[in-house]
Amino acid sequence: MRIADSIMPSAAALLLFVGLALAPAAAVSADAPQFVELFNGRDLTGWVNVNTEPDTWTVKDGLLVCSGKPIGVMRSEKQYENFILHIEWRHMQAGGNSGVFVWSEGFVPPGRSLPKGMEVQMLELDWVNLHRTKDGEPQHIGYISGELFGANGLTATPDNPRGSRSMSRELRCKGKGEWNEYDVVCVDGTVKLAINGKFVNSIRDSSVRKGYLCLESEGSEIHFRNLRILELPPGITTEEQTAKRIP
């Protein structure tokens, strides 16, 4: 399947912006969207701890290292609306679970560990094998890395439904200790996810369409690198569709 056949027209059009961003400098307008680094490889500049510990997030050998404990998030300093996000990650433990939130609120309500937002899941391959019933059957049939879903009150329409979640059409993630690449296209309430070079999942009609990025700590060590974002022109986003800031 060609990429253009696997994504909605609006998202397909956005690939033109990627082409512009990667074109020779002489051929690109000074006002054309450009990818911007979200992690400088030296410290946590640009990120704000929301509800984890000071040592949950560290920088080592140019990598952003998350210990996984406690469960919680670190958020971007600013909100984003329409954009293309590139992020590379690897789990360091079998069965590790994590993710990146887009269009997220900038705080976590009392009694919860994670914010309201759209989660782009990052699941290590052994997660399903480690979560079985007493009879040895998987608890979550079809549950593989790369699910897209609204968390803590955000609603959306899955294109590949597993209940209210949208599941990946293919298992493309690599296992423990291996790097994975996510390209996440977020435009006007639609999220498209490419895993290691192929679009395999999508969700639409998000009730929130502008908010923070959040990296998730969820119990096991995970590493991130090459976090960059290309901001796209804004849409017609209402106040109700904008994530709440810190109350």
Task: Categorize the per-residue pLDDT at 246 as very low, low, confident or very high, splitting at 50, 70 and 90.
Answer: confident
> pLDDT at position 2, please?
41
38 pLDDT exceeds 80? yes
* Chain-centroid distance, C-alpha 136: 31
Query: Per DSSP, what are the bridge partners of residue 194?
Result: 183, 199
Picking from 12-21, 39-48, 97-106, which range would have the lowest pLDDT averaged per residue?
12-21
Report domain 36-233's class: mainly beta
pLDDT digits (tens, 9 = 90+) for 131-165: 555 665 545 555 678 999 999 999 999 999 999 99
CB-CB contact of 60 with 67 (8 Å): no
User: Beta partners for 202?
Assistant: 192
Whether 216 shows a pLDDT value over 50: the answer reads yes
Backbone phi, psi, residue 98, to 5°:
-165, -165
pLDDT above 90 (res 9): no
21, 35 contact by CB (below 8 A): yes
* Measured distance CA(51)–CA(36) in Å, rounded: 26
Half-sphere exposure of 216 (CA within 13 A, CB side): 23
Cα of 243 vs its chain's centroid, Å:
16
* Extents of the domains making up the chain: 36-233
Neighbours of 161 (CB within 10 A): 11
Q: Which residues contact 203 (CB under 8 A, 6 or more apart)?
A: 118, 148, 149, 156, 157, 158, 159, 166, 190, 191
Rg of the chain over all Cα atoms, to the nearest angstrom:
17
